Amino acid sequence: MPNIEIAKRKKSQARPKTVGVKTITTDQGEKSRVYTVSNNSPNLGQDLLYAFRKSVEKARDENLKMFGTRSGK
């Protein structure tokens, strides 16, 4: 019988100071969060990666609510 391991979800890091968060209202009246990255940041790559990971985490959470799985399948 194969050995099965369940990986724990990593906790998010603290938001870097060069990454901002803005709450916007769409045309339909829904509120949405937008992550902004400073282009003068000395670690731009890490900031972009943080914003990307937060977006993916949000999309996976929405898939879990809609489809019952984080992958959306």
Confidence of residue 22 (pLDDT cuts 50, 70, 90): very high
* Tens-place pLDDT, residues 31-47: 988 999 988 889 999 99
Q: Which helix (H) or strand (E) holds 61?
A: helix 44-67
Q: What are the angstrom distances between the C-alpha of 24 and each of 32, 34, 54?
A: 5, 7, 16
DSSP state letter for 4: -
Q: What is the pLDDT of residue 71?
A: 78
**Among all chains, which residue has been given the structure tokens 């282009």?**
39
DSSP state letter for 11: P
pTM higher than 0.75: no
Q: What is the pLDDT of residue 31?
A: 93
Of 3 and 61, which is predicted with more confidence?
61
CA distance 12 to 40: 23
